[in-house]
A = this chain, B = another copy of it.
C-alpha cells in the first residue's frame, strides 16, 4: 500500500469456511515471485465486488447467499 495514502484498520468477522476460502484464494493468486496475503485478497475482493455492482453484473445468486450467512 502506498505510504502517502491514509490507512484504516477494518475488523471483519468471518466463518472458518470463509477463512479457508481466503487462504485458498490467496494461494491461487500467489506465484513463486509474488506472495498474496489474505489482506490483499480482501482488498481485491472489495474492488471486484464494487465493479460488479457498478456495472450491474452481480450474480443474484451471490446476493442470496448473504441471507444464509
A residues apposed to B, CB below 8 Å = 1-2, 5-19, 21-22, 24-25, 28-29, 36, 38-54, 58-59, 62-63, 65-66, 68-69
Contacts and interface: CB of A to CB of B under 8 A. Distances in A.
11 contacts: A2-B15, A8-B16, A9-B12, A9-B13, A10-B19, A12-B38, A21-B47, A22-B46, A41-B46, A45-B49, A48-B52
Contact of A39 (B1, B7, B12, B45): B12
A54 B63 CA distance: 18
Copies of this chain in the oligomer: 2
Contacts of A49: 25, 41, 44-45, 48
Contact of A15 (B8, B24, B28): B8
